[in-house]
Amino acid sequence: MRAAGRAVRARLRDRIAASDPGLLRLTAGLRTVGAIALTLAVLSLMGADVHLLVAGAMAAMVATFAIREKQLGAQAVTLALGLPVALASVSLGAVLNSRLVIGDAFFVVLIFCAVYGRRFGDRGTALGLIGFQVYFLSLFVGATVATLPALCGAMALAFCSSALMRFAVVPATPTGVLLRMRLAFRARLAQLVSAQLELLDAPADEMDKALEAVREGTARLHETAMMIQDRLEEGTPDESAARLVQRRIADAEIAAERLGLLLLTARSAERADTLTLHLPGAPAPSLAGPAVPDEVGATLRRDLQALHALVLRAGSGDTGTGLAHVRNRLLGYRDEENLPPASAAVQDVFRGIGESARAVLGLRIALDGPQDESDDTPATARSREELDAEDAAIDGGEEAAPEEQTGLRRPTTRAAVQVAVGSSLAIVGGELLSTQRWYWAVLTCWIVFLNTASTGEILVKGYRRLLGTVFGVVAGIVLAGLVGKHTWTAFALVLVLIFAMFYSAPLSYTLMSFFVTAMLGLLYTLLHTYSLDVLVLRIEETALGAACGVVAAALVLPVQTDRRTNELLGTVLERLAEVTEAAVGQLSGGPADELLDKARDLDQALADLRAATQPLIHPVTPLRTRRHTARYVVALLETCAYHARTLAATAELLPTHPSIAADPRLRGAAGRTVRNIETIAVRVADEHAGAQVETGPSIASLLGSDAGTPRYGRITDRVLRHLERLDEAVVGLARPLGVPVVAPKG
């Protein structure tokens, strides 16, 4: 019974870790709800009225969610600075509430300063957010000079409650967050292996569903790897340790993605295209048979299940002989003589399992320290020696600071001007709708500019907020009717909705807006200002604010979606060319380069592009062809990035693996691919450029066969396969981007 209970708890822990990497959403929800509950408890003991309770609750929420720094010391400084900013903001709100023109003018200036403050990093963003939200709070509760002392006291209490929850009750150190993210990576890696096992056994009529699960698992694993990279600097003791973890995470991600591709190829009648793993909705390739047959198929299923167990148990501290036996068997597939008799495609799957087991071993050593080696087989000992040599070779490097834009070209300055203009329009229009609740239009205009950078992104965000608001109003009507005059029942439901709001925020902006609006319906009930007309007005003000934001973004210093995506596409192509050229240069015998950093920059650039294309691929976009093109281009770039990352990872093996030798011929063979990437980048930057993409003989044929030169070995064969597929993907990328493709003359 105890063993079964432990197994259930372990599965539950893995599910939670995989669904919320680092428990960031859970932590944010618990902190915010805890700070609000503590503030309400103290204020109620002091006999505060409902207006003060609402003000304290909102201030506690702002003080908690505004802080975004990762280090606890920096969080404490920002929180301490945030209190005087909040007191000044609520005081000005109380004084200026009754002065229509001056108050509105100050609100616009405050909005400009709050957005402009983002240029000063997380602290500037937090202080600007606190200043704006607290001024809004003063309008919401109708602050006056007479009530100002009590409001300031509630503010101070709210900030103290937030500090107590952040630093004592629900602490989250960078080291602890990184540890939980590592557990999430293991859990998502195990989920991907499970999806790959289902892909192996899926019948023909369920292949598309199984393939979609593999795609989703691959994307979720990559998402976690990116989150870990973002936390490495703060969560590890030194740069060398950070680079070691980064390398092992990258190895595991590449090995898992390659295993999925090999499985798909083994099931297919022909070689599977890497693009199939990255393009949503792409059909599964035609199958060679119902599944991998007979005894070899049974062995393959057993070993995939063993790899799944190895991944999960790698983080559990289990060092028993069962785990060692599984590990040794899987690592043995890295040696040719241990491969079972099967087709070449199926043997590649066994090799992929062996490489995945090696990646899991490296991950465990990097994260958990040295392991018991008493049960090692020669194959396992060799893998350990390779990993130790790689670890010793890892060293830190310096990154160049990106070039900063100035003036109105700076994104924060441009956004500040746009928001100020949009808010001015929202104030005028909002007061025409309601002289008392016009500020809802301003709030919506402010929010649609948060974390957006183009007109299309603002339009989509405004649509999502309006949709969530409409459904939230319906929920607010129902909840207000159920709660009636029961004050503490309403506050309890407010806490539940706030937790749901923070927990769902990274997943769905529409869902978050739904919870916010439903919560506001309860707050109106508490303030005795609830009516159906008020909630309908909320929808009207939201629509007006979103429209004002879109108009300001479209007319004032506009950044068109096409322009932004083209800029980001050019950055991705530049990073792709850098990674490919550096990796091939090192594989050709050139000097070592900072390949890990270059690959990380490529991944980040691609993530930025993926986010920027959301307006193009959103279901409401009427241009269906454009939607398919954007999705196809991003999938091709993800395919290119996978092959480039794999080339970089293989290149980093050269200094430490005597069995891997540099091949000078690779540089010339890959030159065409790099030139094609640069050509596409030129054409993206200037559509009138006359650049053309070249095709020609295969990359392998470009190596030549000089007398006395030995034929390339298995490692170089792998490099060539990735170069071939990268070359194919780059040529495929040229067509949807309108770049001419020509074959060389002669």
pTM: 0.86
Whether residue 390 is predicted with pLDDT greater than 50 in this model: the reply is yes
Contact (Cβ atoms closer than 8 angstroms) between residue 741 and residue 693: yes
Assigned token pair, 402: 């990106």
Other CB atoms within a 10 A radius of the CB of residue 705 amount to 8
Quick one: how far is CA 419 from the chain centroid? 26
pLDDT exceeds 80 at position 705: no
Mean predicted confidence (pLDDT) in 36-61: 93
pLDDT of 3 > 70? The answer is: no
Find all residues with CB under 8 Å of 401, minimum gap 6, and list them: none
- 121-150 tens-digit pLDDT: 899 999 999 999 999 999 988 899 999 999
Q: Is the pLDDT of residue 275 over 90?
A: no
Separation between Cα atoms, residue 606 and residue 600, nearest integer Å: 10
Provide Rg for the chain, Cα atoms: 29
**Residue 400: predicted pLDDT:** 45
pLDDT above 50 for 398: no
Residues 357 and 327: beta-carbon distance below 8 Å? yes
pLDDT at residue number 1: 53
Is the four-CA dihedral 373, 377, 378, 383 of positive or negative sign? Answer: negative
pLDDT-based confidence at residue 515 (cuts at 50, 70, 90): very high
Tokens of 377: 């087989």
Residue 645 CA to residue 595 CA, distance in Å, equals 9
What is the DSSP secondary-structure string of 511-563?
A: HHHHHHHHHHHHHHHHTT---HHHHHHHHHHHHHHHHHHHHHHHHSS---HHH
Q: Among 175-184, 283-292, 650-659, which range has the highest average pLDDT?
A: 175-184
Confidence of residue 678 (pLDDT cuts 50, 70, 90): very high
Is the pLDDT assigned to residue 444 strictly greater than 60?
yes
Q: CA-to-CA distance for 438 and 591, rounded, in angstroms?
A: 63
Mean local confidence (pLDDT), 484-512: 88
Asked if 285 and 202 count as a contact pair (C-beta separation under 8 A), the reply is no
Average pLDDT, integer, range 287-300: 70
Find the mean pLDDT for residues 377-381.
79
Better-scored residue on pLDDT, 241 or 218: 218
The residue count for the chain = 746
**Kind and range of the H or E run holding 31:** helix 24-45
Structure token digits, residue 108: 């616009």
Write the DSSP symbol of residue 146.
T
Both tokens assigned to 654: 């050269």
Among 242-246, 494-498, 575-579, the least confident range: 242-246
Residue % of the chain over a pLDDT of 70 = 88
Per DSSP bridges, beta strands 693-694 and 741-742 are: parallel
Q: What angle do CA 106, 521, 24 make, to 5 degrees?
A: 80
Which pLDDT score is estimated for 711?
Answer: 41
- Whole-number average pLDDT of the chain: 84
Give me the pLDDT at residue 535, please.
79
Choose the weakest-confidence range: 326-335, 587-596, 625-634, 672-681: 587-596
Q: Please provide residue 137's backbone torsions phi and psi, each rounded to the nearest 5 degrees.
A: -60, -40
CB 28, CB 66: distance < 8 Å: no
Which of the two residues, 173 and 238, has the higher pLDDT score? 173
Per-residue pLDDT for 188 more than 90?
yes
Tokens 């209490």 correspond to: 157
Residue 484: exposure state from Cβ atoms within 10 A (0-12, 13-18, ≥19): exposed
State whether residue 499 is helix, strand or coil.
helix
Q: How many angstroms separate the CA atoms of 598 and 577, rounded?
A: 10
**Distance (Å, rounded) from C-alpha 173 to C-alpha 65?**
16
CB contact set of 430 (below 8 Å; sequence gap of 6+): 437, 438, 439, 440, 441, 442, 541, 544, 545
Phi, psi of 330 (to 5 degrees): -70, -40
Is the per-residue pLDDT at 508 higher than 80? yes
Between CA 421 and CA 423 the distance in angstroms is 5
Using CA atoms, how far apart are residues 180 and 355, in angstroms rounded to an integer? Answer: 25
Cα separation, 284 vs 265, whole angstroms: 10
Burial class (CB in 10 A: 0-12, 13-18, 19+), 684: buried
Kindly state the average pLDDT of the residues 414-436.
Answer: 90
Q: Cα–Cα distance between 665 and 629 in angstroms, integer? A: 36
Q: How many CA atoms lie within 13 A of 22 on its CB side?
A: 24
Integer Cα distance of 746 and 738 in angstroms: 25
The backbone region for 207, taken as left when phi is positive above 0, alpha when psi lies in -120 to 50, beta otherwise, is alpha
Q: What are the tokens at 262? A: 């090999």
Cβ–Cβ under 8 Å, residues 699 and 717 = no
What phi and psi values does residue 293 have, to the nearest 5 degrees? -85, 165
Between CA 173 and CA 178 the distance in angstroms is: 9
Angle, helices 207-235/595-612, rounded to nearest 10 degrees:
120
**Whether the predicted pLDDT of 744 surpasses 80:** no
For residue 710, name the pLDDT band (cuts at 50, 70, 90): very low
SS3 677: helix
What mean pLDDT comes out for the span 337-351? Answer: 85
Q: Which residues contact 28 (CB under 8 A, 6 or more apart)?
A: 64, 65, 502, 503, 505
Give the integer Cα–Cα distance in Å for 682 and 740: 12
Residue 742 DSSP symbol: E
Residue among 619, 17, 740 nearest 312 (CA): 17
pLDDT grade for 547, boundaries at 50, 70 and 90: very high
pLDDT band for 707, please (50, 70, 90 cuts): very low
Q: Please give the residue that has the higher pLDDT: either 368 or 714.
A: 368
The band of 406, judged by pLDDT with boundaries at 50, 70 and 90, is low
Q: Who wins on pLDDT, 169 or 520?
A: 169
In terms of pLDDT, which residue wins out, 219 or 663? 219
Element spanning 301, H or E: helix 294-313
687 or 66, higher pLDDT: 66
Give residue 327's pLDDT: 85
- State the burial class of residue 309 (Cβ atoms within 10 Å of its Cβ: 0-12, 13-18, 19+): middle
Query: How far does the chain reach from its first CA to its final CA, in angstroms?
Result: 75
Q: How many degrees, rounded to 5, is the angle at CA 651 between CA 646 and CA 652?
A: 100
State residue 397's pLDDT score. 47
Q: Give the model confidence (pLDDT) of 634-674 as tens digits.
A: 999 999 999 999 888 888 777 666 556 677 877 877 888 99
> In this structure, are residues 189 and 256 in contact, taking their beta carbons and an 8 Å threshold?
yes
Mean pLDDT lowest among 234-238, 255-259, 339-343: 234-238
Selected residue with higher pLDDT from 693 and 637? 637
Q: What is the DSSP letter of 741?
A: E
Percent share of the chain, pLDDT over 90: 35
Helix (H) or strand (E) holding 251: helix 239-267
Looking at residue 716, its pLDDT comes to 66
User: How high is the pLDDT of residue 238?
Assistant: 75
The pLDDT assigned to 122 comes to 92
Query: Do the beta carbons of residue 345 and residue 263 sit within 8 Å?
Result: no
Least confidently predicted of 217-231, 305-319, 468-482, 570-584: 305-319
pLDDT (average), residues 549-554:
88
pLDDT at residue 372, rounded to an integer: 63
